[in-house]
Amino acid sequence: MDLKHLRAAVAVADHLHFGRAAAALGVAQPPLSQTVKALEAELGVSLFHRDTRNVALTRAGEAFVADARAALSMVDTAARRARAAGRGEEGSLSIGMVGSSVLHPLPMIIREFRARYPAVTLSFSVLPTVPQVEQLRTAALDVGLLRPPLPGPADDLELVPVSREPLIAVVPNDHRLARRQRVHVRVLAGEPFVLFPRHLGPGLHDEITALCRRGGFTPEVAQEAVQMPTIIGLVAAGCGVSIVPGSSAAQPRPDVAFLPLSPTVRLVDLAIALPVTGRSPVAANFTALARDLTRLR
């Protein structure tokens, strides 16, 4: 018994006529009749009462056709879901993200992705760059939004830039610099800094410290914190000042001041990272969509 037998029995039950059932299936009537007879022989029961004028289901036929319909529905659903999963339209996606991406550009990307792929289940983890790299390599994450450059060889990961932004200063709202429109980085010399540990995001950490050195000083780190929102919160609490990606100012808050820096500094990247090999169709769709929405020119 195979799906051909189930579809034949259901078609005859639907039409109660072998000729019309055969037409609906796109086959000739004699092969359809032979398929039903073979099915009845295998089951050892008659599924249909038939004479020269009428076709009717037997009790055994009613029971069989009900279950056959359910089985065919399950098969059709399985086939549809398999095709959808193969196209990345169903499934799950585990996304890592640095804290500064939560305000921009992640909301725009997620909103559009959910609209296009509503059957995909999303999960999120806020992580610094290095832990994201580690989890991408163990498949604990499917994609990551992180800050290049990555530490060490990373030929196993593809990087797709999705944002490029300047570094800005952040100071408490009662700080001597808080009312400035723009500050030179050198005026931060001697200030206590709130920064993240270098080993969690060496690329961005090195950009920040290199900028300070161009201003003639090395930042004196008074407090370390892992995530950008925490760093900004500690600045608001008076623990020090910091230099952060410009997207951190996307959500203004009254207890700190975000200040553009001069001279103009090299822009820092935010990129999607995903495995070069073994990536899921869902991850490929997410990355392609993010690339289209944020294409850097």
Structure tokens that stand for 181 in this block: 């429109």
Read off the pLDDT of residues 76-135 as tens digits, 9 standing for 90 and up. Answer: 999 988 898 889 999 999 999 999 898 889 999 999 999 999 999 999 999 999 999 999
Confidence class for position 296, pLDDT limits 50, 70, 90: low
**Cis, peptide link before residue 105, omega less than 30° from 0:** yes
Does pLDDT of 264 surpass 60? Answer: yes
Hey, do 3-86 and 167-266 end up sharing a CATH topology, with the first three levels equal? no
CATH topology assigned to domain 3-86: Arc Repressor Mutant, subunit A (1.10.10)
Cβ-contact 273, 127 below 8 angstroms: no
**Do 43 and 64 touch, CB atoms closer than 8 A?**
yes
Backbone dihedral region for residue 145 (phi beyond 0: left; psi -120 to 50: alpha; all else: beta): beta
Report pLDDT digits (tens) over 123-157: 999 999 999 999 999 999 999 999 999 988 899 99
Task: Say whether pLDDT at 287 is over 60.
Answer: yes
pLDDT band at 297 (very low <50, low <70, confident <90, very high): very low
Q: What confidence tier does 276 reach under pLDDT thresholds 50, 70, 90?
A: very high
Asked if residues 10 and 68 have their Cβ atoms less than 8 Å apart, the reply is: yes
Over residues 215-231, the mean pLDDT reads 95
CATH homologous superfamily for 167-266? Answer: Periplasmic binding protein-like II (3.40.190.10)
For the record, the structure tokens of 231 come out as 């760093």
Extents of the domains making up the chain? 3-86, 92-163+269-294, 167-266
Separation of alpha carbons 240 and 193, rounded Å: 5
| Spatial distance between the Cα atoms of 169 and 193, rounded to a whole number of angstroms | 11
Report which residue type is found at 202: P
